[in-house]
Structure 1
Amino acid sequence: MLVYLDDIRLNAEVSGPVGGPAVVLLHALGTNLSIWDAVVPLLPRSCRVLRFDQRGHGGSDVPEPPYAMGALIRDAERMMAHFGMRDAVVVGLSLGGLVAQGLAVKRLDLVRGMVLSNTAAKIGSAQMWGERVAQVQATGLADYAPGAMARMFGRRWQEVAGMPRVRAMLEGMDPRGWVGCASAIAGTDFYTPTAALTLPTLAIAGANDGTTPPDLVRETADLILGSRFHLMRGAGHLPMVEKPEEYGAVLSEFLVSVGQV
């Protein structure tokens, strides 16, 4: 469904009983809400699950780049308000993990727990993202995709069953949306604000992830007092695609352990 906000339309899907404990799923750069397709049915049925295409992605509007991280955080804030969600566990994947951290810092009344999946308080450098933006602007996402797949899935990326669908998501999106959100990542460093958070947090890393390696994910988890860390072996940057059953079980266990369900 399209949700009409003041300045943008965002594509969303919501499932589960109205008034159920809230879970918000935020996808990675170059993907869309369908990245969660195999996981949503594995979550406790009592949960009210919201997932949406972040600006520039999927069926959502594509404003002219660059985007600010604050705009992405505000989008999440407004989407939760639209669906009447509070006290949510927010699950953020890569780019979505940055949004989750920013949302928790800004609106702790909305977020009672976080799952930081394959993400960090700071991802890469401004120079690195500038080079990638320049590449995409010059030669397009189809040229960029093989390198991205190798970083996401590891050296045997061509053999990963879910890779073609992820690659198609990336190559099929509007390059302006990718550039806009890449620019937001480039300008984001949440080390200091994230270190001030104390809410229940689970960090998930993939052993084969070259985009946000396990040590980087663990470093971010260590910023948050009392956080937990789970390493998924045989998985890369998108473990919900490669090992949805394990990923769903880990999420569900966390939801139960923090009293969300």
Structure 2
Amino acid sequence: MSAKVETPFIKQLSLPDNRLLAYLLDDAPEGAPVVLLSNPLCTNIAVWDHIVPVLNHAGFRTLRYDQPGHGDSSAPADLTTTTFDSMVEDVAYMLDALEIPRLWAWVGVSMGAAKGVFFATSHPGVVGRLVVCDTIACSPANAGVEDPFGPRVASARAEGGMEGNTQATLQRWFGDAWLEGHPKEAERMRRVVMRTSVDGMETCCNALASETFDLRPLLRRVGGAVDEAVCVVGEKDANLPRTMGDMRAQIEDGFREAGKTGEVELVVIPDAGHVCFVDGLEDFVRLVPRFIQAEKK
């Protein structure tokens, strides 16, 4: 059974295919611009609990939501149907239902960052500022490398739950030394990951493993779709500092092609891993509000 993480005031929206999408929109600051926070795989709304007060204090409302089969969002009946395009349309439906025509910023990490690129380029002008954190550029099939997602799903299916995957996930994200040195936060993250259903993990892993997942043709289009962008990565997140350096260059080329000035920055958060706003919290909360605060109206 999944461990419960208590986050108040979560609401559920019924999607056109009758799935439920869980979301949490701040009431205050009243009338403030909205920053959407998009989750990594195997996390839910509660993963952002340390970030939301910082953004509220900076004068923003936040909108959080759960990926399919994560937290309080339901998975599709057919687990093979989830793609980044379908998840983008879930978000578009949510924004329309909540009467939010424009996001001040999209802050996404891992799968949530990849989804931000898909969303911004398919709905140009809706996202003002795009924060792309710790994401791969494409599926293993498109990269020509071994698929890490299938074996994780198979392991969870064989176990009949998320317990084994949860520990492996936390070790991959943070490393044993950080987990041992931060037991309270490690336990919070364990509870967060445990709220993912195996169906939710499988359907989102299917999206990540699909040949339809490829950011590379989209990166140069970001410049014509948003006002500003920044790339953020944890220093210890495998080869992603190099990979995201390449992404940054492509995004910046797109800004130039769109006739926009200014550089697209790559920020490497020291000693942080894949979920850089957790083990790199202090650096993250210095960076992101500063980036999105510019010319706030």
Question: In 1, distance between residues paired with 2:29 and 2:273?
Answer: 32
Residue of structure 2 equivalent to 1:131: 151
Of 45, 62, 70, 1:33 maps to: 45
Residue of structure 2 equivalent to 1:80: 95
Which stretch has the larger CA shift, 66-75 or 177-186?
Answer: 66-75
Question: In 2, distance between residues paired with 1:157 and 1:242?
Answer: 8
Of 11, 34, 37, 1:22 maps to: 34
How big is the shift at 1:193? 1.3
In structure 2, the CA distance between the partners of 1:158 and 1:184, relative to structure 1 (3 Å rule), is: same
Residue of structure 1 equivalent to 2:8: none
How big is the shift at 1:160? 4.7
Question: In 2, distance between residues paired with 1:173 and 1:197?
Answer: 30
Residue of structure 1 equivalent to 2:6: none
Q: What is the one-letter code of the residue matched to 2:198?
A: P
In structure 2, the CA distance between the partners of 1:260 and 1:55, relative to structure 1 (3 Å rule), is: farther
Q: What is the one-letter code of the residue matched to 2:21?
A: L
Deviations 1:138-190 (A, max 9, x none): 23422223332222113524325222222222233210001110111111111
Question: In 2, distance between residues paired with 1:157 and 1:243?
Answer: 11
* Equivalent residues, number: 259
Residue of structure 1 equivalent to 2:232: 204
Question: In 1, distance between residues paired with 2:76 and 2:135?
Answer: 24
User: Does residue 1:142 correspond to 2:155, yes or no?
Assistant: no
Question: In 1, distance between residues paired with 2:50 and 2:35?
Answer: 15
Of 180, 197, 216, 2:203 maps to: 180
| Percent of residue pairs bearing the same amino acid type | 25
Of 271, 274, 277, 1:234 maps to: 271
Please tell me whether the aligned partners of residues 136 and 179 of structure 1 are also in contact (alpha carbons under 8 angstroms): no
SS across alignment from 1:201: strand
Question: In 2, distance between residues paired with 1:152 and 1:60?
Answer: 23
Question: In 2, distance between residues paired with 1:131 and 1:220?
Answer: 27
Question: In 2, distance between residues paired with 1:220 and 1:155?
Answer: 29
Residue of structure 2 equivalent to 1:60: 73
Query: Which runs of 5 or more structure 1 residues have no equivalent in the other structure?
Result: none
In structure 2, the CA distance between the partners of 1:95 and 1:160, relative to structure 1 (3 Å rule), is: farther
Deviations 1:62-121 (A, max 9, x none): 223132221111111112222222332111110101110100110012112200111132
Deviations 1:17-70 (A, max 9, x none): 454222100011000011111111111443221111121110111223132221
How big is the shift at 1:4? 2.3
SS across alignment from 2:129: strand
SS across alignment from 1:197: helix
In structure 2, the CA distance between the partners of 1:196 and 1:42, relative to structure 1 (3 Å rule), is: same
Question: In 2, distance between residues paired with 1:165 and 1:124?
Answer: 30
Over 4 Å off, 4+ runs:
123-126
User: Does residue 1:51 correspond to 2:64, yes or no?
Assistant: yes
Q: What is the one-letter code of the residue matched to 1:180?
A: T
Please tell me whether the aligned partners of residues 42 and 249 of structure 1 are also in contact (alpha carbons under 8 angstroms): no
Please tell me whether the aligned partners of residues 97 and 119 of structure 1 are also in contact (alpha carbons under 8 angstroms): yes
Give the number of the structure whose alpha-carbon radius of gyration is greater.
Answer: 2
Question: In 2, distance between residues paired with 1:90 and 1:185?
Answer: 20
Question: In 2, distance between residues paired with 1:124 and 1:254?
Answer: 31
User: Does residue 1:115 correspond to 2:139, yes or no?
Assistant: no
Please tell me whether the aligned partners of residues 234 and 272 of structure 2 are also in contact (alpha carbons under 8 angstroms): yes
Q: Give the CA RMSD over aligned residues.
A: 2.0
Q: What is the one-letter code of the residue matched to 1:106?
A: S
Give the structure-1-normalised TM-score: 0.90
Question: In 2, distance between residues paired with 1:12 and 1:146?
Answer: 26
Query: Which runs of 5 or more structure 2 residues have no equivalent in the other structure?
Result: 1-10, 253-262
